[in-house]
Amino acid sequence: MTAAYFATRLEGAQVYDAGNPAPGLGGEAMKTLQRKLQAKGYDVGDVDGILGSGTRGAVRAEQERLGMPVDGWPTPELLNKL
């Protein structure tokens, strides 16, 4: 990836700007999100506050259902909408 980025920069591409990503959820907020997702029927695995593949898949599904950008990143906004 670094070589590809360097090559595009040599060809005149703009510098990559990651911007300001939305803040994530802390451990307790993530557990709350996981419990809410479980209540909706999603298999998120253990309610452990860790963003695993099951939680990420459920987050994507709910983001799509709610008309949010589907990136699998749990945010306070998503938690509030659930």
Residue-wise pLDDT for 56-81, tens only, equals 999 999 999 999 989 999 999 999 99
Domain extent, residue 50, equals 23-81
How many of the other CB atoms lie within 10 Å of CB of 50? Answer: 13
Nearest to 76 by CA among 22, 31, 28: 22
Q: How confident is the model at residue 34 (pLDDT cuts 50, 70, 90)?
A: very high
Supply the CATH number for residue 45's domain: 1.10.101
| 56 occurs within a structural domain | yes
How many of the other CB atoms lie within 10 Å of CB of 74? Answer: 25
The total number of structural domains in the chain stands at: 1
Provide the token pair at 37.
């997702």
Predicted TM-score of the model (pTM): 0.75
| 28 occurs within a structural domain | yes
- Do residues 78 and 62 touch, judged by C-beta distance below 8 A? yes
